[in-house]
Amino acid sequence: MTSSPEPSSRPAEPPVRRRDTRLDNYVDRYAVRTHGMTASAIRALFAVANRPEVVSLAGGMPNITDLPLDVVGSSLQRLVLDDGRVAMQYGSGQGEPMLREAICEVMGLEGIAAHPDDVTVTVGSQQGLDLVTRLFCDPGDVVLCEAPSYVGALGVFRAYQCEVRHVGMDAEGLSPQALREALEVLRQQGKRVKFLYTIPSFHNPAGVTQSEQRRREILAIAREADLLLIEDNPYGLLGFDHEPLPTLRSLDSELVIYLGTFSKTFAPGFRIGWVLAPHAVREKLVLAQESATLCPPVFSQFAVAAYLRDHDWRGQIKVFREMYRERRDAMIAGLADHLPAGCTWNTPAGGFFVWVGLPAGLDAQAMLPRAVTARVAYVPGTAFYTDGFGSRFMRLSYCYPTPERIIEGTRRLGEVLNREAALHETFGTVGPADPAGPALPYQAPRPNQS
């Protein structure tokens, strides 16, 4: 009988070398939908912005420093020992029933009365967005979204070859008047809108929140126009000042498809989100989920359910809120102390982001390499539009760095902006003062503009 050689006695294989080439031999095989797939400004930035010497006000990573890892750890240990063989098995395409029940309890905090049967668990709310777009949009279909809008949603709409039309916002979020106008233009063009994608609470990136009155107005327009709404609500429980406002879904269960997530209220690494949809849509969602993943990750679902069962998750959300409020305060104080005249910003009442407007003549995208050289990073406003608008804006996030680092970041940013402004003054390229400030109305490019 021959014995197989000891692994150590095998001649060592040469290490596999990465073949790094920019030549793409597959270029004529890709589907047309890949043409719109480009790395976002945020993604390209991460490589430099994550260097320790850079204060990154760019990324939107939830700050999970305050999560009690001992509690989560013992909960996970118990999960493996008691239920491991089920939790590590395939599961239901719709998601585990006990988690869907818990999700209904979470949504109850924002006034939503829902049945677990109408919930589909997804791989983060990002996959919820993907599945919903897959269900409703053919190439060329029109999708409305705010101006600016969440960069990850724009990526999904691009991947499904949708035509995105931005709708202006003001200090109370999506403008009803701008929505009416957009619908009218589309009616005249004979185009049907598949849905309006909106982030009513603590908007990413604009930082604003729709008042209750505003929500009712938007719903009234939607009913009139038979417009489907996709409500994306990752930050709704992270408000600093008052109880959550009623969600659009709590005010209308037929016209609203609701996206939720545990990424900001627990931890993003489990990748658990959900879609709450009217029954007929939910049935299609489950079929789409099955073809995409067979089932959402079962172990993560058990882990989230165990966390909700074993831990004071409501208390933990309060801890997160206080931590983010302290960071928001640091950012607003830093901006007031360091940004030059002519810059404008809002004070978000929750969530992660501040939207900063620059004096006319300054360009946030052109300035970014100089900012990174000065060891501060942000996301230029153009990342949040599909049509090139936004160069006079930037998104700053306060969620991750410590308050001290946030203040230091705003100091560095102030220096960069002051230098840019002085340069523009020298060359006479500064535009007139802009009284409209951050509520500068969105101007869609005219059809003959690129």
Ligand X SMILES: Cc1ncc(COP(=O)(O)O)c(C=O)c1O
The residue (of 200 and 359) whose beta carbon lies closer to ligand X is 200
Specify the length of the chain in residues: 450
What is the greatest pairwise CA distance in the chain?
Answer: 90
Q: What track of x and - describes contact with ligand X for positions 56 through 75 (by CB under 6 A)?
A: ----x---------------
The residue (of 176 and 205) whose beta carbon lies closer to ligand X is 205
The residue (of 271 and 375) whose beta carbon lies closer to ligand X is 271
Q: Is 232 in the site for ligand X (CB under 6 A)?
A: yes
Strands 193-198 and 229-232: parallel
Q: Can you tell me the distance from the alpha carbon of 384 to that of 379, in angstroms, rounded to the nearest whole number?
A: 9
Q: Can you tell me the distance from the alpha carbon of 40 to that of 159, in angstroms, rounded to the nearest whole number?
A: 13
The residue (of 156 and 364) whose beta carbon lies closer to ligand X is 156
Q: Is 385 in the site for ligand X (CB under 6 A)?
A: no
Q: Is 247 in the site for ligand X (CB under 6 A)?
A: no
Strands 55-56 and 376-377: parallel
Among 92, 133, 263, 410, binds ligand X (CB under 6 A): 263
Q: Which stretch binds ligand X (CB under 6 A): 67-75, 245-253, 260-268, 305-313?
A: 260-268
Strands 344-345 and 353-357: antiparallel
What is the closest distance, in whole angstroms, from the C-beta atom of residue 272 to ligand X in the complex?
A: 8
Q: Which residues contact 137 (CB under 8 A, 6 or more apart)?
A: 143, 157, 160, 161, 162, 194
Among 155, 268, 296, 297, binds ligand X (CB under 6 A): 268
What is the closest distance, in whole angstroms, from the C-beta atom of residue 399 to ligand X in the complex?
A: 10
Among 103, 116, 150, 377, binds ligand X (CB under 6 A): 150
Q: Is 133 in the site for ligand X (CB under 6 A)?
A: no
Among 126, 301, 365, 382, binds ligand X (CB under 6 A): 126
Q: Which two tokens stand for residue 365?
A: 């995208």
What is the closest distance, in whole angstroms, from the C-beta atom of residue 96 to ligand X in the complex?
A: 17
Q: Is 125 in the site for ligand X (CB under 6 A)?
A: yes
Strands 256-261 and 272-276: antiparallel
- The count of other CB atoms within 10 Å of the CB of residue 347 is 12
What is the closest distance, in whole angstroms, from the C-beta atom of residue 328 to ligand X in the complex?
A: 16
Q: Can you tell me the distance from the alpha carbon of 73 to that of 114, in angstroms, rounded to the nearest whole number?
A: 31
What is the closest distance, in whole angstroms, from the C-beta atom of residue 395 to ligand X in the complex?
A: 11
**Which residue is it, tokens 């309060």?**
318
Q: Which two tokens stand for residue 302?
A: 């058990």
What is the closest distance, in whole angstroms, from the C-beta atom of residue 64 to ligand X in the complex?
A: 12
Q: Can you tell me the distance from the alpha carbon of 104 to that of 250, in angstroms, rounded to the nearest whole number?
A: 12
In angstroms, what CA-CA distances link 409 with 54, 341, 353, 363, 383? 8, 18, 14, 19, 21
Q: Which stretch binds ligand X (CB under 6 A): 120-128, 206-214, 283-291, 292-300?
A: 120-128
Q: Is 438 in the site for ligand X (CB under 6 A)?
A: no
Q: Is 152 in the site for ligand X (CB under 6 A)?
A: yes
How are the residues of the chain apportioned to helix, strand and coil, as percentages rounded to the nearest 5? 45, 15, 40
Question: If binding means CB under 6 A, how many residues of this protein chain bind ligand X?
Answer: 14
- Rounded to 10 degrees, the C-alpha dihedral 282/286/292/294 comes to 160
Q: What track of x and - describes contact with ligand X for positions 170 through 209 (by CB under 6 A)?
A: -----------------------------x----x-----
Q: Which stretch binds ligand X (CB under 6 A): 91-99, 102-110, 119-127, 277-285?
A: 119-127
8 Å CB contact between 433 and 365: no
Residues forming contacts to ligand X in the complex (CB under 6 A) are 60, 124-126, 150, 152, 199, 204, 232, 234, 261, 263, 268, 273
